[in-house]
Structure 1
Amino acid sequence: MPLHVPPAPAPALRSVLQALGSPTAVHEAHTPALRALQGPATAELPLPVHVLDRVRASGRPPRTRLTGWRFLIRGDDRFVAAADTRLTPDGWVFSHFFEGPYVAATERALRQAESLGRRYQPRLLSVPELYMLTLWLHGAVGADAASGLPGAEDLLVPLAPAPPGIAPYRPHLLSELLPVLTHRLTPPAPPVPPSMAAPAA
């Protein structure tokens, strides 16, 4: 299998399994598909969620930071929802369940990635200012999933819905996608005020 899914921290997985086993947590979630399940649900395909910062025309390179782990929730032989965890001073804890287009988009992008013929470590990379989420295919399959920047050969696959002008599911190198993101996120220069001087005679 070309994709090398990194192992999630044990407390993160444990917290999701505990939430899945809690009728209260499932009932209170805004996930009709999850609440409607008749059989068991499982947490699969753990993906570290990173945020891309410093996407500005400032000359400083962007950086990433790990913000959580996301699990796809399978029930009735399909993925019906996802579960996010977050890091607290006491360790990894369950955050919330959710459903919506990013669940199916993540599954589709992962299947697409499996056909690329190269081994990758799948991650998620978010650009919150653009409401954009990408599947990050990291070429260093044995790397620590909690750290690192996209490498020169890594691919970023925008998930649907993607921002206008960015095609979903089309793999990009960071060097290709970063100028587009930088342009979108860099505020325009203020207009130069017209000169108050009288025109020369």
Structure 2
Amino acid sequence: MPLHVPPAPAPALRSVLAALGSPTAVHERHTPTLRAHQGPLTAELPLPVHVLDRVIAGGRPPRTRLTAWRFLIRGGDRFVAAADTRLTADGWTFSHFFEGPYVAATERALRQAESLGTSYQPRLLSVPELYMLTLWLHGAVGADPAAGLPAAADLLVPLAPAPPGIAAYRPHPVSELLPVMTHRLTPPALAGEAAA
């Protein structure tokens, strides 16, 4: 089943395309692969980036908030970088380009998700306290990509590098992985109170 990649806000895409056309933005020192690439670059696969907030023991639902739209930047036959946009008072604007393991990990997880037997809306879910990024496969393919919480049946695919004890690229139902994350994020004193 195909993934239903949501369209990014037009200003976010325009800002990334403008940055790709800017020698100053493309030639940042922390993006050597992007800087060295010869030939055209394209922005593809826009993914809304949500941050998981308020993971609390006791069964209360977590909160998420949309923080960015991320585009994978293709150069030739592979993705060489990613671009993030952020929301400002004037709308969505280009934030920065970056490289590193999450670019290839995102591509791999998206390819893997394409082979699943169910349709999903792909998103990214960041858990900063665990230094963890997951591909969030949301079951409501027509949902507003800027809103919503992870549903129990949604899948989370941890990207590499994943935290110790959590397997990268293994799809986990939210109902299975969220308790693991909650346990890791709950201070020991609070975990004892929740169990009582």
With normalisation by structure 1, the TM-score equals 0.92
* Alpha-carbon distance, 1:152 to partner: 2.4
* Alpha-carbon distance, 1:58 to partner: 4.8
Structure 1: 5+ residue runs without aligned partners? Answer: 191-201
Deviations 1:149-189 (A, max 9, x none): 11122100000000000000001111100111011111111
- For 1:26 and 1:98, how far apart are their aligned partners in 2? 10
> What's the counterpart of residue 93 of structure 1?
93
> What's the counterpart of residue 145 of structure 2?
145
Letter in 2 for 1:177: L
CA RMSD of aligned residues (A): 1.1
Deviations 1:58-88 (A, max 9, x none): 5431011100100000002110000000000
Deviates more, 1:4-13 or 1:21-30: 21-30
* Alpha-carbon distance, 1:29 to partner: 4.8
Letter in 1 for 2:188: P
> What's the counterpart of residue 9 of structure 2?
9
> What's the counterpart of residue 197 of structure 1?
none
Q: How does 1:1-201 map to 2 (within 5 A)?
A: 1-189=1-189
Change (3 A) 1:97 1:29: farther
Indicate if the aligned counterparts of 2:85 and 2:94 stay in contact, CA closer than 8 A: yes
Aligned length: 190
Deviates more, 1:181-190 or 1:128-137: 181-190
* Alpha-carbon distance, 1:109 to partner: 0.2
Point out the structure with max Rg over C-alpha: 1
Instruction: Give the percent of matched residue pairs that are identical in Structure 1 and Structure 2.
Output: 88
User: Runs in 1 of length 4+ with deviation above 3 angstroms?
Assistant: none
* Alpha-carbon distance, 1:54 to partner: 1.0
Structure with higher helix content: 2
